[in-house]
Amino acid sequence: MLVNMNKILKKAAKDKYAVAAFDCVSDIFVKTILDSAVNMDSPIILMALEYDLKERGMDYIAGLIKAVAPTYNVPIVLHLDHATNFAIIERALKNGFTSVMYDGSALPFDQNVKNTQQVVKMAQKYNATVEAELGHVAGKELSGCDDDHAVQLTEPQEVETFVNETNIDALAVSIGTAHGIYVSEPKLNIERLKEISAISKVPLVLHGGSGTPEAELKEAINNGITKINIYSDLRIALKKGITIASADNQRPDPLPDKMFAPMTAAISKIVQDRINLFGSKGKAAI
Residue 187 near residue 193 (C-beta atoms within 8 A): no
**DSSP SS3 for 162:** helix
**Separation of alpha carbons 242 and 259, rounded Å:** 8
Strand-strand pairing, 204-206 and 170-173: parallel
Vertex 66: Cα angle to 40 and 22 (nearest 5)? 45
Catalytic residue among 23, 81, 103, 233: 81
Question: Is 27 noted as a catalytic residue in this protein?
Answer: no
- Burial level of 141, CB count in 10 A (0-12/13-18/19+)? middle
CB neighbourhood size of 56 (10 A): 9
Kindly list the catalytic residues: 81
